[in-house]
């Protein structure tokens, strides 16, 4: 059984969706949730599923503390699901092509520092975009620049608001993120 660690900073709806999805499979399991936010709702969601939670500071992430905890678990995949800090190079170097992220826009558009959540949805509405979507990509040392694994688009209308865009994106995330995680794990299986 493959081991997944999920990193999240906020409400944890994607993290919980991934936990539930893999609880029904024999492929993998979420074995731990890591968060940099001691008051994040993801902590409660993880505990409701008996998933251990690691809470850490930005300094612990940048030093070796978090890397050591990850190495103790020895995950097959690290999944960033609404994790807002830049991922440190020492972890990326140890786990090449084993860290993936979901971004609520069609990269390379609307990516980079400060581009997350409602900031993106507002920018998309303000720019009168005809579509948006999700990007699932490998994590490298730059925000939102790792190789793209999967993208799915959704049409927008003139009536869309940042809130309705957020709802459309959330539906895509809930449907596709666990499936793509499974595909990445199965692909890494076939390479070993």
Question: Is 13 within any annotated ligand binding site?
Answer: yes
Question: Is 146 within any annotated ligand binding site?
Answer: no
Long-range contacts of 137-143 (CB under 8 A, 24+ apart): 137/100, 137/101, 137/103, 137/107, 138/97, 138/99, 138/100, 138/101, 139/78, 139/80, 139/87, 139/92, 139/99, 139/100, 139/101, 140/92, 141/89, 141/92, 143/86, 143/111, 143/112, 143/113, 143/115
Question: Is 12 within any annotated ligand binding site?
Answer: yes
| Active centre residues (catalytic) | 103
Residues flagged as binding site: 12-14, 101
Residues flagged as binding site for (6R)-10-formyltetrahydrofolate: 101
């Amino acid at each position: 059984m493959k081991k997944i660690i999920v990193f999240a900073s906020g409400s944890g709806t994607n993290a919980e969706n991934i936990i539930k999805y893999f609880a029904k499979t024999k492929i993998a399991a979420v074995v731990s949730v890591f968060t940099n936010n001691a008051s994040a709702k993801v902590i409660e969601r993880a505990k409701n599923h008996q998933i251990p939670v690691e809470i850490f500071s930005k300094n612990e992430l940048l030093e070796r503390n978090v890397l050591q905890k990850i190495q103790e678990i020895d995950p097959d995949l690290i999944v960033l699901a609404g994790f807002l800090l830049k991922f440190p190079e020492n972890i990326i170097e140890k786990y090449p092509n084993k860290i993936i992220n979901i971004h609520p826009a069609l990269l390379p558009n609307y990516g980079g520092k400060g581009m997350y959540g409602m900031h993106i949805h507002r920018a998309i509405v303000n720019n009168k975009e005809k579509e948006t979507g999700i990007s699932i990509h490998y994590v490298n040392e730059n925000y939102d620049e790792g190789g793209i694994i999967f993208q799915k688009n959704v049409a927008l209308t003139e009536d869309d608001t940042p809130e309705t865009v957020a709802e459309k994106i959330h539906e895509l995330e809930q449907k596709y993120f666990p499936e793509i995680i499974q595909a990445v794990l199965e692909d890494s299986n076939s390479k070993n």
